[in-house]
Structure 1
Amino acid sequence: MGEVWEASATGEGGFARRVAIKRLTAEHEQSPSQARMFLDEARIASRLHHANILSILDYGVVEGVPYQVLEYVDGVDAERLRQRGLEVGEDFPVELALHVCAEVAHALQYAHEAKDGAGQSLEIVHRDVSPSNILVSWTGDVKLADFGIALARDRQERTLAGLTKGKPAYMPPEQVTRGELDGRSDLFALGCVLHALLTGHSPLAGEDRMADLLAGKELALSDALPADVRDLVARAVRRARHQRFQSAAAFAEAASGALAARSGRAGRALLCDWMARVRAKEEAARARPVSGWAGSFLEVEQLLGGVVPAAEEATAGGATPPPRSEPRAPRWRKWPWLTVLALGGLAVVRPWRLGQGDAPPPVARSVSAPEPAPRAPEEVALAERSLSAPAEVAEEVAPAERSLSAPAEVAEEVASAERSRSAPTLAPVTRAAPRAQEPTAKRAEVRAPPRPAQVGSGALTVGGEGALRAVVIIDGERRGHAPMLIELPVGEHVLELKTPDGHWIGPKRIQLTEFHTPAAPLRWVVPVAQGASGK
């Protein structure tokens, strides 16, 4: 709901400090609910002063737009950091994952125990612990950010009944079912983060993982995890809260102990060394000269204006190069051929209109392409119709363009070749007979009923013990697993369930209205007997 800008806070005597300014995006500026959430985030985070929590320095409103002034972290989030390492051949080490998660656990312990000025607990639960909300600076700082949906005792904006906030791949089961949350809920998410940093995915990744967990089956963890880390993650992501770590401090102690057993060096020093190695490899890759077939693409790209050669940066004797009449294009050092492919794609998807006064594409001039032969007036008229005519005319012209004046036995082969060209040349055409469409096979009971276009949507919940882990099929389309809350267009819908043992429940016809809101949805509750008996 927000966008973040880098800024500089200035003051008397040459004072200057780099900060980040976060503000609501234009589409959310007029939403009272989003404004309250934004204010809640600022209020909650402003009370937390910890080395591992991103600080909020100020909050205000300018011309009706609320903003936050945040501590600037010169680095990247943990998810992107891991990806950048993989891009240069550096796996994210187990020791670094343990260190990062231990630092986040210290932040969570502080937040869970935070109190107001009267000594009363603030009852803070982050509810959105994920790799993208963990910031890592190039100097080794680890900070937990984004308390936008954090639960707190004095929060103004409350989550509506029937809605769930958070990232599904890191949400504990009690958050999915809108049950009671406490600090152990954040530890479940932190266990998923540790798993994701080492394997690339959360143990909840997969549409049936949460359904299995809600049914009492523990999460399956990756075999790539070392035994000690696997035990740590398994304890953090237990279905029952009383079987998890009972405090973030206990999680931090376990992670730090596993790190100490693996390495005699401090986690921060290991993190700084690894990040410096990644950045050095990135710089080396950008500075590496391009040769071979990639070099030929580089030459073409230089002709197109996408690359400024290094030799162009300086003249003999170090003189300043002459001024340019046009702005310099960005440099593409790593994958120059991507620019060529992108420009080629643009030439395909954006044909130049005839007769509109547009100049021909600069690519044609750069590569000295031969001028096309003059077209007959009827060909120009056909091209103009296919490029700029209304949709109904384009539909009439399209079949003619796809058909060539070729013998019947090779018509299909020529048509296929013609469609694969990036810039086909139109020729005298004959209209092709429309091809009959094959009927689509559908189960009669799941065919969506015809209904006129409706305005608005309604909320539907599908649940009950008989529906647990069943596939939900709405109007013949698979929509996920029960239990679920979903918004659909108002009107009549056909519902079906397919249970894990292959039984079908339904079809059931429902009439959804605008009065079925997320706070008061239309409910389909399936008892155990119906789920067991099948259809």
Structure 2
Amino acid sequence: MGEVWEATATGDGGFARRVAIKRLSAEHEQSASLARMFLDEARTASRLHHANILSILDYGVVEGVPYQVLEYVDGVDAERLRRRGLEVGEDFPPELALHVCAEVAHALQYAHEAKDGAGQPLEIVHRDVSPSNILVSWTGDVKLADFGIALARDRQERTLAGHTKGKPAYMPPEQVTGGNLDGRSDLFALGCVLHALLTGHSPLAGEDRMADLLAGKELEPSDAIPEDVRDLIARAVRRARHQRFQSAAEFAEATGKLLAARSGRAGRALLSDWMARVRAKEEARARPVSGWAGAFLEVEQLLGGVAAPTSGSAAGGSVTPPPRSEPRPQRRWGPWLAVLALGGMAAVVRPWRLGLEAAPPLPAVRLVSAPVPAPPTPEQDVAAPEERLPTDPEPAPKPDAAPRAQEPPTKRPARAPSPPAHRGSGTLTVGGEGALRAVVIIDGERRGHAPLLIELPLGEHVLELKTPDGHLLGPERIQLTEFHTPAAPLRWVVPLAQGASGTR
């Protein structure tokens, strides 16, 4: 949906600050719905000032394309945090998972209680609490990011009836069925995050887990998790909201008590020490580290999977994307060289478009990632071959160029986006209480039971459901496009009343 740039905001007297610039990608620029979502995210995040929430510093529109200026976090997201440790022989202990989730719970408590300037509740529900939206810096900061689909009282873009938004592996049952949401819905997702940090997967992983939960069978956390932590997770992911933690503050208190009982050290100290060990081992192995881009390179809905540069890439050199099969119109970057207002200070932002004949010397902005499809959830992740990106030669210096006052940014190895696991396919989900355990028939072929997430070739398909009591729902014609990804699939949600009514 978007692309993110690393930038340097500069001002008088040598003022400089690293920031990130997030903007809609070229293929989504003309979508009025996505533009409203982008503005909603900026409006919501701008009202939230908390140590555990990623800050938005500015918002604007250039050439009709909206952008956000965001706080820069030097680190990785929680989805890759555990994996990075295991790659260098560092287990991710329960104490660290408890601390990360306690910090996110503090952020959620603040967001759930936030009020507008008139003192009226904003009624914020994040709706997308997942490991990829939790950023962890190398010094131990934990930030909740991406309020792109968050509910709020004055939100402009509304979810259409029969549609749901979020990641299926972290959705509470009331979100899957299109019911009313509140703060306890986010706590269900946070319980799934805690499970994923300890095991590598959500307790909802598996074809029948959500169906069983909707049918009344509670989720059972993995036996590999310590019993005290398992009990906490089991309470967070209860089907009925009144049986879960009733507030994020209560969740944070419970995780804090468990952490104190298991370790005599502060959670932040444990996390920063662990991060330092991981980074040191990575550097010792001479593996390119993506920490410079981690905060935004790994935000799930924006950037997708990445692949490390191969040995044929020159470290520190500029990187060009793979050649495109179709020519794309040149974008005029003149307006993007304008001065942006950042907290009342001048911030010279110089976007640098990759893939031109030569990059301008000493760029103040580097592209963190080109737009790529949103990544699949861990449960549907399919390994894709890594791509090698050739490096551009360094541009020759111009003898008559005036010296720059700004120091050039340190060049770091960039990482290229992995190609999609399945080209020419889109993702469909079928669910809702009315579809529970129904046989899913697509183009006349039985494809499993609802709830179901499945990849299909792009184009038109005919969808039917046969409920357990023999009723037939459909046929329904659907149109899959390349924008229907595992993170943002086309959804057919059948309410309970419709499922009981039989053939339409």
| Local SS of the residue matching 2:153 | coil
* Alignment-derived partner of residue 475 in structure 2: 510
| 1:472 to 2:437 alignment | no
| 1:497 to 2:466 alignment | yes
| 1:98 to 2:71 alignment | no
Distance in 2 of aligned mates of 1:343 and 1:60: 34
Distance in 2 of aligned mates of 1:106 and 1:13: 37
One-letter identity of the residue aligned with 2:29: E
* 1:46-95 deviation line (CA, Å, top 9, x unaligned): 00000000000000011111000000001110111111101111111110
* Alignment-derived partner of residue 148 in structure 1: 148
User: Post-superposition shift, 1:149?
Assistant: 0.3
* Alignment-derived partner of residue 245 in structure 1: 245
| Local SS of the residue matching 1:110 | helix
Which of 308, 312, 315 matches 1:306? 312
Distance in 2 of aligned mates of 1:485 and 1:197: 23
* 1:478-517 deviation line (CA, Å, top 9, x unaligned): 4453357999999894735374xxx8x4777736489xx9
Structure 1 residues 160 and 282, CA gap change in structure 2 (3 angstroms): same
Distance in 1 of aligned mates of 2:492 and 2:461: 20
Distance in 2 of aligned mates of 1:44 and 1:216: 35
Distance in 2 of aligned mates of 1:529 and 1:513: 20
Whether contact under 8 Å (2:464, 2:476) holds in the other structure is: no
Whether contact under 8 Å (1:461, 1:522) holds in the other structure is: no
Structure 1 residues 524 and 174, CA gap change in structure 2 (3 angstroms): closer
* Alignment-derived partner of residue 31 in structure 1: 31
User: Post-superposition shift, 1:2?
Assistant: 1.1
Distance in 1 of aligned mates of 2:495 and 2:96: 47
Distance in 1 of aligned mates of 2:209 and 2:276: 37
Whether contact under 8 Å (2:235, 2:245) holds in the other structure is: yes
| Local SS of the residue matching 2:286 | helix
Using the TM superposition, name which of 278-287 and 231-240 deviates more.
278-287
* Alignment-derived partner of residue 233 in structure 1: 233
One-letter identity of the residue aligned with 1:45: A
One-letter identity of the residue aligned with 2:186: D
Whether contact under 8 Å (2:57, 2:71) holds in the other structure is: yes
Whether contact under 8 Å (2:57, 2:68) holds in the other structure is: yes
* Alignment-derived partner of residue 173 in structure 1: 173
User: Post-superposition shift, 1:475?
Assistant: 2.7
User: What residue ranges of structure 1 are gaps of 5+ in the alignment?
Assistant: 288-303, 310-340, 345-456, 531-535
User: Post-superposition shift, 1:461?
Assistant: 7.2
Larger radius of gyration: 1
* 1:19-61 deviation line (CA, Å, top 9, x unaligned): 0000000111111100000000000000000000000000001
* Alignment-derived partner of residue 115 in structure 1: 115
| Local SS of the residue matching 2:179 | coil
User: Post-superposition shift, 1:305?
Assistant: 8.9
Which of 493, 500, 503 matches 1:527? 500
* 1:427-484 deviation line (CA, Å, top 9, x unaligned): xxxxxxxxxxxxxxxxxxxxxxxxxxxxxx9x9977665x522331223434453357
Whether contact under 8 Å (1:494, 1:507) holds in the other structure is: no
| Local SS of the residue matching 2:118 | coil
Structure 1 residues 479 and 138, CA gap change in structure 2 (3 angstroms): same
Whether contact under 8 Å (1:19, 1:69) holds in the other structure is: yes
Structure 1 residues 284 and 222, CA gap change in structure 2 (3 angstroms): same
One-letter identity of the residue aligned with 2:475: I
Whether contact under 8 Å (2:177, 2:433) holds in the other structure is: no
| Local SS of the residue matching 1:30 | coil
Whether contact under 8 Å (2:130, 2:189) holds in the other structure is: yes
Whether contact under 8 Å (2:429, 2:492) holds in the other structure is: no
| 1:257 to 2:222 alignment | no
Structure 1 residues 12 and 197, CA gap change in structure 2 (3 angstroms): same
User: Post-superposition shift, 1:527?
Assistant: 3.4
Distance in 2 of aligned mates of 1:224 and 1:282: 27
* Alignment-derived partner of residue 401 in structure 2: none
Structure 1 residues 342 and 223, CA gap change in structure 2 (3 angstroms): closer
One-letter identity of the residue aligned with 1:278: V
Structure 1 residues 308 and 58, CA gap change in structure 2 (3 angstroms): closer
User: Post-superposition shift, 1:101?
Assistant: 0.2
Higher strand share: 2
Aligned pairs for 1:46-125 within 5 A: 46-125=46-125
* Alignment-derived partner of residue 137 in structure 2: 137
Distance in 2 of aligned mates of 1:255 and 1:84: 24
| Local SS of the residue matching 1:190 | helix
Structure 1 residues 82 and 489, CA gap change in structure 2 (3 angstroms): closer
Higher helix share: 1
One-letter identity of the residue aligned with 2:464: L
Distance in 2 of aligned mates of 1:462 and 1:275: 40
Distance in 1 of aligned mates of 2:157 and 2:387: 47
* 1:311-359 deviation line (CA, Å, top 9, x unaligned): xxxxxxxxxxxxxxxxxxxxxxxxxxxxxx9899xxxxxxxxxxxxxxx
Distance in 2 of aligned mates of 1:158 and 1:511: 24
Distance in 1 of aligned mates of 2:429 and 2:241: 29
TM-score by length of structure 2 reads 0.66
Whether contact under 8 Å (1:133, 1:146) holds in the other structure is: yes
Distance in 2 of aligned mates of 1:10 and 1:113: 35
Whether contact under 8 Å (1:6, 1:18) holds in the other structure is: yes
* Alignment-derived partner of residue 482 in structure 1: 450
The size of the alignment, in residue pairs, is 364
One-letter identity of the residue aligned with 1:71: E
- More relative contact order in 1 or in 2 (CA 8 Å, sep 6+)? 2
Distance in 2 of aligned mates of 1:253 and 1:143: 18
Whether contact under 8 Å (1:245, 1:251) holds in the other structure is: yes
Aligned pairs for 1:124-523 within 5 A: 124-286=124-286, 306=312, 467-482=435-450, 493=462, 495=464, 497=466, 499=468, 505=470, 510=475, 512=477
* Identity across the alignment (%): 78
User: Post-superposition shift, 1:284?
Assistant: 1.4
| Local SS of the residue matching 2:112 | helix
Distance in 1 of aligned mates of 2:20 and 2:76: 14
User: Post-superposition shift, 1:208?
Assistant: 1.1
Distance in 2 of aligned mates of 1:95 and 1:513: 46
Whether contact under 8 Å (1:125, 1:182) holds in the other structure is: yes
Structure 1 residues 256 and 478, CA gap change in structure 2 (3 angstroms): farther
Distance in 2 of aligned mates of 1:58 and 1:177: 36
